[in-house]
Structure 1
Amino acid sequence: MSLVDIVVNELHAEIKSGRWKVGDRIPPESELVNLLGVSRVSVRAGVQSLVHAGLLATRQGDGTFVVATDVTDVALRRRLEKARQEHVLQVRYALDVAAARLAALNRTERDLRGMTADLEARVEAFATRDVEAFVAADVAFHLKVAVATHNPVLSDLYGSLVGALAEAMRRGSCLETEEAADGEVLHEELFRAIHDREVDKAVDTAFGLVDASIWEAETASEHGRQRQDS
């Protein structure tokens, strides 16, 4: 086994163990040299190998960060990046409805507090028409619903969709459609159903939310085609 392979295995072990989580910045090159007892060249090559694999990402002037924990997750993310918007939303149908049902059954008070914070951020962003803040809060809320199922497989799957869902919202002009205000009501209704453990209502509301998202995406796509034709 080469020194580069050793570096790759050691760094990957830190990620898989959870000691380095998604979003964490890994130690600087000099620290890794001392930690692993290898040369800078070997460390640099090992880090670059994990960057190519999609587990790490280097941000100029800021360092290198963990962006995924598993190569399977990376493959799914890359597939989603190439997927058509409507296909992503159709997958969301299944996950959102399952998540709403299980969250209504299994949520904790801590889960509810997290959802409340995201809903408040979503309302504030909607009021100020801050698209990026709105997208971030919306996606975070739905991810919190998935986490509240306490089914790690479902929440991991939903987490893999986050980037694609955020991009779908941006492309769908999420704050410009007439139905955007209705979405505020539906999100509050979903939260209330989960809070009150009303399983059937949570499922029905989740159906309504995804239906609205698909309609908005189709409307935005049609408007885009009309602008191109005119």
Structure 2
Amino acid sequence: MTDNVQGVNSVDIAVAILNYIASHHGCARASAIASGCGLSKSRLHKYLVSLSRTGMLRQDENGQYCLGETLIKLADAVPGNQDVITLVNPVLCDFRDRMNYSTGVAIPTSEGLVLRHYHRSFKNVDIDFLDNTPVPLDASAAGLIFMSYGVYPSPSVEERVQIERVRQQGYAVRYKPTHGIPGAQSIACPIRDSHGTLVAIGVTMGFFENDDEIYRVAQELKSALSQIRL
């Protein structure tokens, strides 16, 4: 086998590893990656070392391999992505300033969601997220929006009920704390282009006093994001 062919094969394997991790919400254990990609653990290790060294992957505190900063920066360079963020961020910052609730913008990828930017409220007690944090599809308001407006194959019966409710009200709410997510509740609304395609998700989060406050904040967020023209 020539060096050129070996090089092409190596790229194919590296991309397969990245795609596998992306399809599992941005993080996976080495044993699962090896099984899913049909690689021996020793061969996989060489790729994980190389991808981690270049910033394409990072290892979290639980030993899982997650999509890294370099990969996220490359995604940011895709034409159109930054334009959406540039338009949405000022709207979310203004909402944060008016309502004093933290906000963020999540970007759908081919396999999941990433919280691209987070704008913390001015309250003494609040939660913090790092930019480019992976967002779980099955345990977040943004994930419900993605399921309802994005490309989400074969939803279950329960998920179809949730999707219909979200589409009717135009927003999603995460009421209960979920493992791995701080205890604050969150509200998310879709941001769609002129063709109706989901391009981003606006999120606000905080410690809401009651259902009336959740409804009020959700309507304010819908109204703010409806002013964006893409």
TM-score class, shorter:
0.3 to 0.5
User: Greater CA radius of gyration, 1 or 2?
Assistant: 1
Taking structure 1 as the reference length, the TM-score comes to 0.39
Higher normalized strand content (fraction of residues): 2
Higher normalized helix content (fraction of residues): 1
